[in-house]
Chains A and B, each alone.
Chain A
Amino acid sequence: MTLERAGEPAQPNIADAGPMEVRAKIQLAMNDLRRLSDIVAIAIARRDGLIIAHDLPRDVDPKRTAAMTAAIVGTSEMAARELGHGKFLQAIVDSEFGKMLSTGAGEEALLVTLVRPEANMGLVLLGVERAAHRIATILAGE
């Protein structure tokens, strides 16, 4: 699992004691969600399209994924508002070989979950909702 740090500096140090604790907690939340066998990969991105942390497959560009997720969510939010559907909760991109769930995790962040096509969605959604809430709490207490 990779923790994307703006620039991936070589050695973490004591400076990051506070922030690194936040990152460690995020990592734990990701690990817990990852236990669901239907989940293939997880990314946490900022709503403005920067990547926070991820365990995306090697051939997927995390930065590009974060930017696209931000656009998907931004667009979905606008659509929800336009249609009078209230607060945005989640966008699901359903494709041939899998699903991508983009879930709001507080005001600033998004939880992106890649799911197998034949997944038990009830279970996945429950886990994702719980994880999103947990991540929102961690980032709010930063």
Chain B
Amino acid sequence: MHTGTGIQILDGKLGGGFQRPSAVLLFSDHPSEKRLFAEQFVVTGLRDGERCLFVDFFRAPQLARRELRKFGSFDEGRISYVDATSAQLLIPSSEKYSIRDPNDLDHIMDTIEKAIRETKPTRVVVDSMEFLADRFPKEHVFRRWRQLLEVGKTEGATVSYLFVNWTYGQAEIERIEDMSDYVVEFQSRMRTGVLQHFLRIRHSHSGGVTTNWIPYTFKELVGLTVYFPRILVTGPFNAGKSTVVRMLCKESVSVDRMGTTIAFDYGNIEIMGLEAEVFGTPGQERFDFVFQIFAREVNGLLLVIDRTRAEDLPRARQMKELAGKDIPTVVLANKADLPNPLADAEIRTQLGIGPEVPIVSTVATQGQGLTEALQKLASMILGEG
């Protein structure tokens, strides 16, 4: 049994989602957008007709309920809350499960365990473990936490819990990770005024699936999607770059004159739970300065070549190198419908690429092979394993 995250491409990597039952640690060194991930996890379950339990130490259940609606519609009758805030505020709770004494760890944990046993959820979210870690003796927290995860497993739930480390040292972090079947790590970075969010699966017991840092974004009603701010489409003159951008993107613009791109092509992709900004470069060398503008912080490269023109391959190789080292790359061997196409082996030799770089045959004018190429690129950016 799997419990999906609702991020299609990530679930694909996980073989459908986190195995159920399991314990999933949502971890970060600094505050980040972990809660969005947890909320999406819950909403995904609710939409599949599952039961969910949300334990929230920071928000009143009314607020938590309202904020969950930003993901759109789902059956609200299938989610239960453990109210952990009313008692902190000295007001009565209207929830079936509420923590009466926030200063009593055993009472807190008993209440959560009771809610799990009685509501039998498939997904449990606890926001967050650091609330307890900051307030109660370490060994006591660890003992009760282990017990909670056991209860969750016995009842067949995937228990995911948020944890920002304020309090503990490396040894304690390792103990918490050891209790968890999956460790998902979050990070938010700011560079030149642009804030970017990343997550990665750092550790998983079953199957050993791990990923690179995956950039993601959040949109109302859509939820979390994997987001690549820059996919570069490049290649020699007249290989079909602009056509690739146009056919991949719902909406695109091209700054071209007399049939050739003189500045750039730009488009936005939204497919398979994936969003990307696509920048197409000119192919002619005299416009290489434009290439330099956009060839920064590139997530991935789609190198478009004309599969019938061996004489253009040295230029293609040069452009690949211009884009930068170690950038995930997929070669689009375009115009595959024309006679006398080059063999993959020859393309590899001429471009100086190893088997780690996939070559996809495409007919850009008909959109053939483009989605496959993008899928391969996305999978490379996310990381194998």
Closest B residue, CB atoms, query A26: B193
Interface residues of A in 1-59 (CB under 8 A from B): 4-11, 13-16, 18-19, 22-23, 26, 44, 46-53
B3-44 vs A, CB cutoff 8 Å, 1 = contact: the mask equals 000000000000000000000000000111101100000000
- B197: interface (CB < 8 Å): yes
Interface hub of B188, B192, B197, B268 (most chain A Cβ within 10 A): B192
Alpha-carbon gap, A26 to B194, bound state (A): 12
Q: What's the least CB distance linking A40 to chain B, in Å? A: 21
Let me know if B294 and A49 touch, CB within 8 A: yes
- B190: interface (CB < 8 Å): yes
Let me know if B197 and A13 touch, CB within 8 A: no
Let me know if A50 and B229 touch, CB within 8 A: yes
Q: What's the least CB distance linking A81 to chain B, in Å? A: 9
In the complex, chain A residues whose CB is within 8 Å of the CB of B229: 6, 50
B171-211 vs A, CB cutoff 8 Å, 1 = contact: the mask equals 00000000000000000101011111100000000000000
Let me know if A9 and B217 touch, CB within 8 A: yes
Closest A residue, CB atoms, query B225: A7
Let me know if B194 and A6 touch, CB within 8 A: yes
Choose among A4, A9, A26, A63 the residue that contacts B33 (Cβ–Cβ < 8 A). Answer: A9
Contact A68/B192 with A7-B197, A7-B217, A75-B289 known, Cβ cut-off 8 Å: no
Closest A residue, CB atoms, query B189: A19
- B266: interface (CB < 8 Å): yes
Alpha-carbon gap, A109 to B219, bound state (A): 26
- A93: interface (CB < 8 Å): no
In the complex, chain B residues whose CB is within 8 Å of the CB of A68: 255, 263
In the complex, chain B residues whose CB is within 8 Å of the CB of A53: 193
Let me know if A71 and B194 touch, CB within 8 A: no
In the complex, chain A residues whose CB is within 8 Å of the CB of B70: 10
Alpha-carbon gap, A8 to B218, bound state (A): 6
Alpha-carbon gap, A134 to B104, bound state (A): 52
A-B residue pair count with CB separations less than 8 angstroms = 113
Let me know if A7 and B266 touch, CB within 8 A: no
- B264: interface (CB < 8 Å): yes
Alpha-carbon gap, A44 to B193, bound state (A): 9
Q: What's the least CB distance linking A18 to chain B, in Å? A: 8
Alpha-carbon gap, A68 to B255, bound state (A): 9
In the complex, chain A residues whose CB is within 8 Å of the CB of B268: 63
The number of chain B residues with a CB under 8 A from chain A is: 40
Q: What's the least CB distance linking A123 to chain B, in Å? A: 26
The number of chain A residues with a CB under 8 A from chain B is: 39
Q: What's the least CB distance linking A84 to chain B, in Å? A: 16
A54-95 vs B, CB cutoff 8 Å, 1 = contact: the mask equals 000000000110011011001100100000000000000000
Alpha-carbon gap, A67 to B190, bound state (A): 19
- A139: interface (CB < 8 Å): yes
Closest B residue, CB atoms, query A140: B192
Closest A residue, CB atoms, query B229: A6
Alpha-carbon gap, A11 to B218, bound state (A): 10
- B384: interface (CB < 8 Å): no
Alpha-carbon gap, A7 to B194, bound state (A): 10
In the complex, chain B residues whose CB is within 8 Å of the CB of A52: 192-194
- A142: interface (CB < 8 Å): yes
Q: What's the least CB distance linking B217 to chain A, in Å? A: 3
Let me know if A47 and B293 touch, CB within 8 A: yes
In the complex, chain A residues whose CB is within 8 Å of the CB of B193: 22-23, 26, 44, 46, 52-53, 109, 139, 142
In the complex, chain B residues whose CB is within 8 Å of the CB of A50: 194, 229-230
In the complex, chain B residues whose CB is within 8 Å of the CB of A78: 289
In the complex, chain A residues whose CB is within 8 Å of the CB of B266: 63-64, 67
Alpha-carbon gap, A119 to B164, bound state (A): 52
Contact A49/B279 with A64-B266, A71-B290 known, Cβ cut-off 8 Å: yes
A-B contacts besides A47-B293, A75-B263, A78-B289, 19 pairs, CB < 8 Å? A5-B194, A6-B195, A6-B229, A7-B196, A7-B215, A7-B217, A8-B219, A10-B220, A15-B33, A16-B190, A19-B190, A22-B190, A23-B195, A48-B296, A64-B266, A71-B293, A74-B290, A109-B192, A139-B192
Can you name 8 A-B residue pairings with CB atoms under 8 Å? A6-B227, A7-B196, A7-B215, A7-B216, A9-B218, A14-B31, A15-B31, A64-B253
Interface residues of B (CB under 8 A from A): 30-33, 35-36, 67, 70, 188, 190, 192-197, 215-220, 227, 229-230, 253, 255, 263-264, 266, 268, 277, 279, 289-290, 292-294, 296-297
Closest 5 A-B residue pairs measured CB to CB? Answer: A7-B217, A19-B190, A52-B193, A15-B31, A74-B293
